[in-house]
Structure 1
């Protein structure tokens, strides 16, 4: 579903003005350790399977729903790998709607399904090797794409904040 009733109603009140949008994104690997990327229709850049958290949903519920809608895959989020937001995560859609995403990025495993878009948002879905990652719409740090067994979560901040 391209835009939910909740966000349509909100947009009806604020127009194209900047809004905060709590969101989720998934890093999903196949058996060859390639990462799933989505090329949305009417976009200039690739993205991770992602979407907005709806009222009443937990981030994990939103992730499972969004991934299924965009890819046809049922996934299980097993690790939170990053939290992102701020000016770097502002985005303007072709019709002019402005958002500032606050994104929970989860690493996921595939439970079942076939790679096929359900909601019509994806022009292309492709597993791509880490080192060949395409240019993305949002500036996620390279470290979240590295396959590792690290258990720490990437928190986005400026180093000098700790010294202030």
Structure 2
């Protein structure tokens, strides 16, 4: 994931200390029920598409922008799948970040899936019964996006899901 300029500016003041950031993930389905995934340039692993909102940007806008920037696919956000605070991560350069992820279910409405920036090594559509190896992060989001249920909030149990 490329580091946005506003974060580089913050880092010049705060150094490597923990930085709390919003994140947006998009679980994108096409009309055939396949899910769009990107093979990340930074980890080499397959993942749902996501990124950091620009200052003042709404989560739905972030999802639309990130999916297009990374895959050339146009999407329409359909709903909030989950909200989850992730554990802190220390990056190879020593920076520490903790993300609060808002995951949106999105529907593809145009474009042809292709690598559209330097953040991805590959992109593609995958049938749900033929997914590549994925980390828990992506598997959880895909699973929750497939449910017809309400938004899921990490740590609060299903009893606090909002219809």
Q: TM-score, normalised by structure 1?
A: 0.82
Q: What is the aligned counterpart of 1:157 among 152, 155, 158?
A: 155
Deviation at 1:17, TM superposition (A): 2.4
Number of the residue aligned with 1:83: 83
Contiguous gaps of at least 5 residues in structure 1: none
Number of the residue aligned with 1:136: 135
When residues 139 and 157 of structure 1 are mapped into structure 2, their CA distance, relative to the original with a 3 A threshold, is farther
| Count of aligned pairs between the two proteins | 156
Deviation at 1:16, TM superposition (A): 2.7
Number of the residue aligned with 1:27: 27
Deviation at 1:158, TM superposition (A): 5.2
CA distance in 1, matches of 2:76, 2:111: 12
Deviation at 1:92, TM superposition (A): 3.2
Contiguous gaps of at least 5 residues in structure 2: none
Runs of 4+ aligned residues of structure 1 deviating over 4 Å after TM superposition are: none
CA distance in 2, matches of 1:51, 1:23: 6
Q: What is the aligned counterpart of 1:101 among 92, 99, 102?
A: 99
Determine whether 1:16 maps to 2:27: no
When residues 151 and 66 of structure 1 are mapped into structure 2, their CA distance, relative to the original with a 3 A threshold, is same
**Aligned alpha-carbon RMSD (Å):** 2.3
Deviation at 1:137, TM superposition (A): 6.9
When residues 21 and 121 of structure 1 are mapped into structure 2, their CA distance, relative to the original with a 3 A threshold, is same
When residues 158 and 82 of structure 1 are mapped into structure 2, their CA distance, relative to the original with a 3 A threshold, is closer
Determine whether 1:65 maps to 2:61: no
CA distance in 2, matches of 1:139, 1:113: 23
Q: TM-score, normalised by structure 2?
A: 0.83
CA distance in 2, matches of 1:94, 1:143: 30
Contact 1:2–1:119, Cα closer than 8 Å, also in 2: no
